[in-house]
Chains A and B, each alone.
Chain A
Amino acid sequence: MKLNSKHILFVISMGIFMYLMVIAVLSPLRFRNQLHQKALSDSLFMLSINPSFSNPVVKPLVKIEAYKQSLLQLSRFDSIGLSVNLADSSIMLKLKGLVLYDSDVVDFKVDPVLKGLRIAAYLNSFSRPLESVASYSSFQKEPIVVKKAPATPEEALAIATLPDSIPLVPAYFWIELNNGIKLFIVQDDCKSSMERKVKRKYKRDLHRLRIENVFKSALNPSEYHYSPTIIIEINADAAITIFRALPVFTKVSLIF
């Protein structure tokens, strides 16, 4: 058979495609393996792990214990922290151990990589609060309005504005944690076209993040990239309240 340029192009395309598939599949598995290895390398920590922890009766209790330990550490910080309890579908703002605000989680989706973590890796990763390293929101964190100082009382009267209630804005934000996890918090109910637009943006962002990771890993296979995601749907008011209350760099306690 004589090979023409079409055949060669087809073979190259298939090669690239297969390479992307392999990278896409390997990156999350390597990420999970890294978390397992990190736990295994901590010999002192591994002494506290016993085989009964993976038993389905014991496992949820071990996770609760780790979460409580993380909350205890969170209460030692001076600033407002976030507590995400997916075991009982609640999300809370905490300051010095006190619950300032709580809201129900309507729905959530935990990345399969995190779901499949061995108990040792889970405990090693979530027994203490995680730190946020970056964040994004579809609304302003501080809704600042700039006003030029009037020169005269007449001018002051002319520019006086009546106070307005908080405008309802589509609420979606994400927080990236120091161990690579990205926490997406999205409003549950999208009635207006603006809200639907924001929800579409969130889905695009999520897909872009995954694709970007695949391409980054493909270009540099020795440094694979993967960001496990936890997607949480809550009511819009709660999402705005939580994001505005949190400091730019916050701490997060998690249980799932």
Chain B
Amino acid sequence: MVGFLRFQKLSSLKRVFSGMLIIMTTFFAVFVLPIWMQQIVLLVANNIPAERMETNTELIEHEVYRLNKNIERLNKKLDAFVPKNHYLIVNSTHNEFCLFKGKELVRKGKCSTGSYLLLEKNENEKWLFKTPKGEFKIRSKTTNPVWKKPDWAFIEEGLPVPSPNHNSRFEYGVLGDYALYLGQGYMIHGTLWKRYIGLPVTHGCIRMSDDDLKVAYNKLSIGSKVYIF
């Protein structure tokens, strides 16, 4: 009786084991082996020379000369895209900027860009505070800029929105000593909140520290390019 039970137990274990083996083999054969086979065949196929190779030394030398000349010409064309004067590159992911003149790096530092905060008043009134990406130009420059607060600045603080030219819209000294306008309401300016430089905290503008802003203001002129990515 004991022997019979042991046999029964063994045979059911064996069945489970062979069942698992079949499932694993099927899985391997269907999901893994075809891909391995594919890669092996491709490796073999890549080692079969398929093209007739030119060995005429004179022809090769001529081609190398021609190609090098062409590459040089293309490099010159590509280099011509680099602005000759000062320009600014802003990395909005890491909140960093680089000021260049031609290919020379003039200054590098931290800045602040859009917070990606979506302020929702209702279904129709929403503001996304992000810094736009792309190529911009300095449209105008000013010292001691005054901030004319837009509607969202009041809504964000839970205050009633005043009339368009109400006194409470104008704030002095909050944008630092200089501002460079990029258009569409976006600026490069300073801040009172210096400890947040390097963090994504703005409403879309680019904030810089006082020293960096002064250099940018002095080096960038109207028409200078600003690239934001």
Question: Residues of A with Cβ closer than 8 Å to B?
Answer: 13, 16-17, 20-21, 23-25, 27-29, 50-58, 61-62, 64-65, 68-69, 71-72, 75, 78-80, 93, 95-98, 100-101, 112-113, 115-116, 118-119, 142-156, 163-166, 207, 210-211, 214, 237, 240-241, 244-245, 247
With both chains docked as a complex, state the minimum distance between the C-beta of B10 and any C-beta of chain A, in angstroms: 22
Q: Which of under 10, 10 to 19, 20 to 34, or 35 or more describes the interface residues of B?
A: 35 or more
> A20-B34, A28-B38, A65-B71 in contact; A145/B118 too (CB < 8 A)?
yes
A163 to B201, Cβ gap below 8 A? yes
Complex CA distance for A241 and B113, rounded to whole angstroms: 14
Complex CA distance for A89 and B52, rounded to whole angstroms: 29
Question: Residues of B with Cβ closer than 8 Å to A?
Answer: 26, 29-31, 33-35, 37-39, 41-43, 45-46, 50-56, 59-60, 63-64, 67-68, 70-71, 74-75, 77-78, 80-83, 89, 91-94, 115-121, 125, 128, 130, 133-135, 155-159, 196, 198-201, 227, 229
- Secondary structure class of chain B's binding surface, majority of residues: mixed
B-side contacts of A101, CB under 8 Å: 89, 91, 229
What are the 8 closest A-B residue pairs judged by CB atoms, nearest first?
A: A97-B81, A24-B34, A112-B42, A68-B74, A150-B158, A116-B46, A156-B158, A245-B229
A210 to B78, Cβ gap below 8 A? no
A211 to B130, Cβ gap below 8 A? no
A72 to B74, Cβ gap below 8 A? yes
A54 to B52, Cβ gap below 8 A? yes
Complex CA distance for A69 and B73, rounded to whole angstroms: 11
25 contacts between A and B (CB under 8 A): A17-B33, A20-B34, A24-B34, A54-B51, A55-B53, A55-B54, A61-B71, A64-B71, A71-B74, A72-B78, A75-B78, A78-B135, A95-B134, A97-B80, A98-B81, A98-B82, A112-B43, A112-B45, A118-B51, A144-B118, A145-B116, A149-B120, A156-B157, A211-B31, A237-B94
